[in-house]
Amino acid sequence: MRFPKSHIVVIFLLFSFSNGLFLNAQELLIKDNNGSFTCTFDDHRLEELIKNDSLFKATSLLNEALTFAKKFKLRSTEAQTYNAIGEVSAKMSSFKNAELYHKKSYNLYDSINSRKGKDAALSSLLKTYLLEKNYKRFDSLYPIAQELSSELNSELYFINLENKIKKNYYAYENKELLRASKNALKLLDTVDFSKLVFSKIRDEAFFKSRLQQSYFYYKTIAHVKLNIGKKDRFDLLFNLSDDAIKLAFKEDPDLYRKLGTYNFYKYLYYTEVNKNLDSATKYLLAADTYKYNAVVTYEKRNSRNGDIMYNIINTQNELRHANDIRKQDAKASKVLLITLVLTAIMLIATLIIFFFYIRAKRNIQAINKALKRSNAKLLAIDKDRLEFFSIVSHELRTPIYGITGLATLVDQEPNKSKRKSYLNSLISSSNYLSILIDNILQVKKLRFEEKTLRLKPDQIHKIVQNVVSTVEIAAKNKGLKIQTNVDDSIANDFLMIDKVAFSQILINLAYNAVRYTKEGHIGISVKENKRTEDSLSLRFEVEDTGIGIDEIHRDVVFNAFENKTFLHKNSSGSGLGLFVVKTLLKCHDADIDFISKPGLGTKFFFEITFQRALSPIQTNTPKIDSIKHRHILIVDDNKINLLISKKNIERIEGYTCETLSNGREAISMIKEKAFDLVLMDINMPDMDGYEATKHIRMFNPHIPILALTALNSAEIALKAKYVGINQIITKPYIFEDFKAVIQRYANKEQHYFNCIDLEAI
């Protein structure tokens, strides 16, 4: 429960006058060989006071300890005292104060390099966030606390784990609750508690037994909640007992609620499964009794700190006595009092009027200032946008001019080697233009829409190879080498990954490195950080030997409309790539940072934890000798796109195709002829790809229909799936990926499923 703030104020006012009223927090003061003072801290005394809800006494005890520790500069005792004050504050539901004192404790322990103390402070802070139900901060602190507890082999690891399970319980995350409690029970069976480093004196056997009962309780509750309607829903329930729960949650303020819940589920069992009315009635009465006890306990906690209330009552009595004296004096000088009252009323009224006048005037002035600031900010934003679009206009014209000029040179150049060089440059300009346009569209989408990742099994080294093939021509044209280093340990791992989104991250970083590097190399490395049964944490680094970034630009390089100050006078760029990278990494629950030295180069790095794929989809292309003749229908209103798609289909051995530019003609053609697969454009005049697919599905529900489109959004994918399109292939694409998808869908002897290398619905 949460105490009124006035109680907290009274506590801290009163305990400052209570030194010497209770037992000392220090048992003994000793001078060591170095001449400095040390002391022992009465943990047992403090814990007994907290358990008995004697929070006023506990606070007094801690105030005495804090004064003592500061006087003799006992920083360890001071840190321990701050942590204990935080626990008392959390007990009184003053969570902000509790967080403040835990952090003070942590900082003091950190200053004296006490890792064991830091472990205790982090564990206490975790518990405070749990009691406050501040689950966001709890989740961010939990891995840090567990990492330190694990390194120290501390028993607080299991307490933190129990708090994590409680968090899942309170947040109704039943699936995670079941998984976490199961893993916790397995861990208990494998750990030798006699080898743990305990933060305080504990009975090892009792501690382990209590944890087992606690973990098993949460496992049981999660099992009951997740298996509604199933026969085995109540199987685990009868492996528990009231005594076991009382042991597990002896110091838990919600003990009676948990007992009530447990007995209520037993009542459900005898009502729904066993059909035993007597037993059902017995457990329903037990559940109601525990719920009543929970209410009584809540009321008792609400009326604790009797000492404080006693002092408040005494103070009120003194004030009442003083008021009686004042009334007697008022009777003796009634006329004077009336005059003073009237004068005071007039003065107060004048002051109130003057106050509201001044406040209204200040409000008007503040509004005017705010409007001026807002107007200035809008003008600055408008100026920034104009400058931004000026940069984008230049960046668009540059590759377009290059593509136009290089196409002319290819047409006029008779020398094959020079033609090949021109073609490579043409491809490089085309790739850069494609990435630039995609970044511009991504800026709009990422600013106004929430990016949803489409996770499919894939291998990191393949994605890195595709990225390198995309940027290597641009690097080669500048005389730069691209070096890659992917740990051998992850070569065979299949990870759940959104290949398109993740490729955008690496491609933007790689192109950024090429753009700002005149000579030297570009490096892309992937290193394994941490591996578990279900996940794999990787560190990615993209470095260059380019112009580098000044430290003063660190705060703006990732901002889409502010990082123009970062652009070097001898370099070009839209300034969008790093913003897109930063935003896409947020979708991966990751962040990016960099180290740089102007003139020597820059290294960008980030870490992502991927879920490992248990049964990766096989993407091997069927052998040529097993592929029979396949006939494909291509529908697209754009002649150039139609030609490109036709040529790519004909590059696949054993495949032929026919082309149409109209959706209605495609419907008629499919009725007359047998095709193994249809490549359907989405945007077409007269009848678009959605409508054409609807009509085809009315008479042919089995033929694979793939959408070949430049559109890419969640709404497009959802609509395509609704009308019966099997998969979306987003243009532009890599030919080998395109070939793999076509062969899989056209081969009628295999099941149709989404290829991991392209956009799948």
pTM above 0.75, yes or no: no
Nearest to 45 by CA among 84, 76, 102: 84
Does residue 668 belong to any structural domain of this protein? yes
Whether the Cβ atoms of residue 690 and residue 735 lie closer than 8 Å to each other: no
Of the three residues 549, 581, 611, the one that is the final residue of a domain is 611
Greater confidence (45 vs 623) lies with: 45
Does residue 516 belong to any structural domain of this protein? yes
Q: Are residues 605 and 653 in the same domain?
A: no
Q: Are residues 606 and 536 in the same domain?
A: yes
Q: Are residues 479 and 593 in the same domain?
A: yes
DSSP symbols for 256-305: HHHHHHHHHHHHHHHHHTS--HHHHHHHHHHHHHHHHHHHHHHHHHHT--
Residue-wise pLDDT tens digits, 483-525: 999 999 998 899 999 888 898 899 989 988 998 898 999 999 9
Nearest to 110 by CA among 143, 148, 139: 148
Quickly count: other Cβ atoms within 10 Å of residue 276's Cβ: 13
pLDDT at position 333 is 74
Residue 448 has pLDDT above 70, yes or no: no
Q: Are residues 537 and 678 in the same domain?
A: no
- What is the distance between the alpha carbons of residues 515 and 262, in angstroms, rounded to a whole number? 64
Nearest to 720 by CA among 752, 747, 688: 688
Q: Are residues 658 and 573 in the same domain?
A: no
- Evaluated on CA atoms 296, 298, 301, 306, the torsion sign reads negative
Residue 582's contacts (CB-CB under 8 Å, 6 or more residues apart) are 558, 591, 592
Residue 719's contacts (CB-CB under 8 Å, 6 or more residues apart) are 690
Q: Are residues 584 and 516 in the same domain?
A: yes
- What is the distance between the alpha carbons of residues 368 and 189, in angstroms, rounded to a whole number? 68
Of the three residues 611, 642, 668, the one that is the final residue of a domain is 611
pLDDT at position 523 is 95
pLDDT at position 319 is 46
Greater confidence (18 vs 277) lies with: 277
Average pLDDT, stretch 278-291? 88
Bridge pairing between strands 456-458 and 26-31: unpaired
pLDDT at position 425 is 65
Whether the Cβ atoms of residue 307 and residue 275 lie closer than 8 Å to each other: no
Tokens, residue 454 = 């489409």
Q: Are residues 646 and 728 in the same domain?
A: yes
pLDDT at position 477 is 86
Please tell me whether residue 516 adopts helix, strand or coil conformation.
Answer: coil
Does residue 28 belong to any structural domain of this protein? no
Average pLDDT, stretch 361-389? 76
Distances (CA, A) of 543 to 128, 186, 189, 516, 547: 42, 43, 46, 11, 12
Does residue 567 belong to any structural domain of this protein? yes
Q: What is the DSSP-derived secondary structure letter of residue 455?
A: -
Q: Which residue has the tokens 């896409």?
A: 584
Q: What is the DSSP-derived secondary structure letter of residue 621?
A: P
Q: What percent of the chain has pLDDT over 90?
A: 35
Give the mean pLDDT of the chain.
80
Q: Are residues 581 and 533 in the same domain?
A: yes
Of the three residues 611, 635, 665, the one that is the final residue of a domain is 611
pLDDT at position 710 is 72
Task: Give me the helices (H) in 673-746, please.
Answer: 689-699, 714-723, 735-746
Q: Are residues 517 and 607 in the same domain?
A: yes
Q: Are residues 633 and 587 in the same domain?
A: no
Q: Which residues pair with 335 in a beta bridge?
A: none
Q: Are residues 714 and 587 in the same domain?
A: no
Does residue 177 belong to any structural domain of this protein? no
pLDDT at position 726 is 94
Greater confidence (187 vs 557) lies with: 187
Residue 393 has pLDDT above 50, yes or no: yes
Greater confidence (390 vs 416) lies with: 416
Does residue 546 belong to any structural domain of this protein? yes
Whether the Cβ atoms of residue 707 and residue 731 lie closer than 8 Å to each other: no
Backbone angles phi, psi at 134, to 5 degrees: -90, 75
Q: Which residue range(s) make up the domain with 721?
A: 626-746
Greater confidence (425 vs 747) lies with: 747
Whether the Cβ atoms of residue 499 and residue 462 lie closer than 8 Å to each other: no
Residue 243 has pLDDT above 90, yes or no: no
CATH number at residue 700: 3.40.50.2300
Average pLDDT, stretch 668-694? 92
Q: How many domains is the chain built from?
A: 2
DSSP symbols for 324-352: HHHHHHHHHTHHHHHHHHHHHHHHHHHHH
**pLDDT band (50, 70, 90) for residue 163:** very high
Residue 380 has pLDDT above 80, yes or no: no
Does residue 155 belong to any structural domain of this protein? no
Q: Are residues 647 and 707 in the same domain?
A: yes
Residue 385 has pLDDT above 70, yes or no: no
Does residue 353 belong to any structural domain of this protein? no
Residue 320 has pLDDT above 70, yes or no: no
Q: Ranked by mean pLDDT, which of 97-111, 326-340, 394-408, 562-576 comes out on top?
A: 97-111
CATH number at residue 567: 3.30.565.10
Whether the Cβ atoms of residue 508 and residue 577 lie closer than 8 Å to each other: yes
Nearest to 58 by CA among 32, 91, 33, 27: 91
**pLDDT band (50, 70, 90) for residue 625:** very low
Greater confidence (680 vs 41) lies with: 680
Return the minimum-mean-pLDDT range out of 24-28, 71-75, 589-593, 708-712: 24-28
